[in-house]
Structure 1
Amino acid sequence: MDLRQLRYFVGIVQAGSLSRAANHLHVAQSAISHHLAQLESEIKKPLVTRGSKGIALTEAGTVLYRHAEAILRHIDFAKQDAMTTLAVPSGRVAIGFPSALSSILGYELFVQMRHAYPQIVLHLTDGNSSLLRERLDNGRLDLAVLFLGKSERGLAVEPFANEELFYVSAEKKSRPISLEEAASQPVLLPGPGSGIQKTAREAFAQRGLDLTVIGEIDSMVALRRAVAAGLGNTILPWAAIGDGESVGKLHHRQFSDFRLIRPVALCSSEVSQRNPAIEAVASTLKLLARKLIEGRRWHGVTAMETAGSHLDNKPSG
């Protein structure tokens, strides 16, 4: 097994077929097929299955793809580190944001990085917490913002803020709502892999209450539209409420008897090295978050050193 074989294999998976991979990699399809056959012979298992719509990974192929992509990224990091010695940070850095925070943090970070570190190519992505964690574990992301308050096995966690969740609906009401009242109303939530659903269910369960979930929508755009149309209410941070056509159509209320607080942390894999480019993105993001909080542009959030606990059962006043 060599690096060329791994590059060709990753190229096949990402292209979806051998012919498209050959075009993208600028090699003959026969060479692609030959190296794939060598890999399968060495592993003694098929890595892909071929069909009319292209290739599909086998179980063994899925495992190899995860490792191959991580190996190739480590090699790229090694090259970048050597090239940036005694020079300005440069190279590609991939960072993931939860969908609820991507609009307020992602764009602002991109602008800051373009001004301060134009040699860094920043790749932004968003998704639910479980998806970001998976991509961080398999090396597809260098950094991810996750809702964790402490380090976990294999993961370096740097909490930098605490964020409050609110009850959100199309009704123009501002008075706080109790958990019991909220539990009796139909709600729409992001899927079970999201930090929002996890935090909300924990809070309601502590009071012996169940949420009346009538649907799960991972897309923030679709979720906001559904709530604005009156199809159900939801639980969201302030940052996820006011965006695009939903501005002015959604109204948020605090919970009167239980503050839903979750930690916000910058995370990276313990097994991967953070080169100067990754460190530059990390420091810029933490500084940006503080500026947004202190400038009152990120509402319902406090810097970690002055914020409360993960789940605060005291009324917010």
Structure 2
Amino acid sequence: MNFQHLQAFIHVAEAGSFSKAALLLDVAQPVLSRQVRALEVDLRETLFTRTGRGVALTEAGRQLLAHGHAIVQSVDQARQALHGQRSEPLGRVTVGLPPSLARRLTQPLVDGFHREMPRARLAMVEGFSMHISEWLSSGRMDLGLVYTPEPDPDIEIRPVLQERLCLIGPAAALAGMDGVRFADLGRFPLLMPQRGQIFRKLMEAQATLSQVQLDVVWEVSSVPAILDLVRGGYGYAALTDSALRGQGLDASLAEVPIHSPQIISTLCLVQSATKKAPPLVRRTAELLQRLALEVCAVESGRL
């Protein structure tokens, strides 16, 4: 049985007329007539009787119409299933997460990825923004979250949200403070990552403009290690709200916003701008952006 002929028969039966069906399908009536006639020859049955207003189904025609609807529905379901399989993301995607957010994003990202893309594989790498940008440029990574990336024609940058830098220190030392002026930061011994890391670049750029001498006493390229040293009384840190919350709540530490001026860092989603992103990377990027907004909603709402 020719499926196209079966579809032609169903359209004529539902329209009650060859001319109406031909008009709805935008085909010539003789073509439709030949298709239905070929079906009748194949089945060795007469499917229609002509009336003054069109055509009526014979008993064989009524039986075939019932089967025909089921056949067309089954074919449509098969097509949808195959299309869904083709469009379902497959393969492996590598995502870079900054230390300030990695702990808070890892489980939600794994949960969402497993739920939405069960046939794909996800790899996550933690790294500072400068490293994630380098890995993305070299092809070692598919996409990531970075803070205030440098413009690069090879990298597509999509701003997600803004976060302010805060002074983080022992709770007892910061008790009663509702903020700290940038001009006063020179009296705080600071624990900061190595030169080139984005938070340090933002701080040093503003220090130059404000003519403030920052007292960097230790260089440590690990957010958990920086916070451990702050707990140990070795100094203070200048990090985002999410950096502290990303390591879990800790009553021994406190944060106060840096102001006059505020130091703002923009969290961005980055991916290659030189090659078309496959469905897996596009879907993962959408999921990652959505989760980052959810996780940082409290912090971003304070700006």
CA 165–247 in structure 1, closer or farther in 2 if over 3 Å, else same: same
Matches within 5 A, 1:171-182: 171-173=173-175, 174-182=177-185
- Please name the residue that 2:102 is paired with: 102
1:128 aligns with 2:128: yes
Counterparts of 1:84 and 1:133, CA distance in 2: 33
Matches within 5 A, 1:273-284: 273-284=276-287
- Please name the residue that 2:117 is paired with: 117
- Please name the residue that 1:238 is paired with: 241
Q: Does the Cα contact within 8 Å between 1:225 and 1:246 map onto a contact in 2?
A: no
CA 127–84 in structure 1, closer or farther in 2 if over 3 Å, else same: farther
- Please name the residue that 1:254 is paired with: 257
Counterparts of 1:162 and 1:100, CA distance in 2: 14
- Please name the residue that 1:164 is paired with: 164
Matches within 5 A, 1:1-317: 86-148=86-148, 151-170=151-170, 171-173=173-175, 174-243=177-246, 247-294=250-297, 296=298, 299=299, 301-302=300-301
- Please name the residue that 1:39 is paired with: none
Considering fraction of residues, name the structure with more helix: 2
How much identity, in percent, do the aligned residues show? 21
Unaligned runs of 5+ in 1: 1-82, 308-317
- Higher-Rg member (1/2): 2
Which range moves more in the overlay, 199-208 or 272-281?
199-208
What's the CA shift for 1:193?
Answer: 3.1
What's the CA shift for 1:152?
Answer: 2.2
Q: Does the Cα contact within 8 Å between 2:87 and 2:279 map onto a contact in 1?
A: no
Counterparts of 1:127 and 1:282, CA distance in 2: 18
RMSD: 2.3
Superposition TM-score, scaled by structure 1 size: 0.64
- SS of the aligned residue for 1:259 comes to coil
What's the CA shift for 1:224?
Answer: 0.7
Task: Letter of the 2:179 partner, please give it.
Answer: P
Count of paired positions? 218
Q: Does the Cα contact within 8 Å between 2:129 and 2:149 map onto a contact in 1?
A: no
What's the CA shift for 1:292?
Answer: 3.0
Superposition TM-score, scaled by structure 2 size: 0.66
Q: Does the Cα contact within 8 Å between 1:147 and 1:263 map onto a contact in 2?
A: yes
CA 222–292 in structure 1, closer or farther in 2 if over 3 Å, else same: closer
Counterparts of 2:258 and 2:134, CA distance in 1: 32
Q: Which runs of 4+ in 1 moved over 4 A?
A: 243-246
Task: Letter of the 1:222 partner, please give it.
Answer: A
Q: Deviations over 1:149-169 (max 9, x none)?
A: 785221110111111110111
Q: Does the Cα contact within 8 Å between 1:242 and 1:250 map onto a contact in 2?
A: no
CA 118–218 in structure 1, closer or farther in 2 if over 3 Å, else same: same
Counterparts of 2:278 and 2:85, CA distance in 1: 10
Counterparts of 1:136 and 1:97, CA distance in 2: 12
- Please name the residue that 2:35 is paired with: none
What's the CA shift for 1:148?
Answer: 2.9
What's the CA shift for 1:210?
Answer: 2.2
Counterparts of 1:108 and 1:245, CA distance in 2: 15
What's the CA shift for 1:220?
Answer: 1.5
Unaligned runs of 5+ in 2: 1-82
Task: Letter of the 2:108 partner, please give it.
Answer: E
Which range moves more in the overlay, 185-194 or 241-250?
241-250
Task: Letter of the 1:279 partner, please give it.
Answer: R
Counterparts of 2:90 and 2:106, CA distance in 1: 19
Task: Letter of the 1:215 partner, please give it.
Answer: W
Q: Deviations over 1:120-171 (max 9, x none)?
A: 2111111122211111111000002122378522111011111111011112
- SS of the aligned residue for 1:254 comes to strand
Q: Does the Cα contact within 8 Å between 1:103 and 1:240 map onto a contact in 2?
A: no
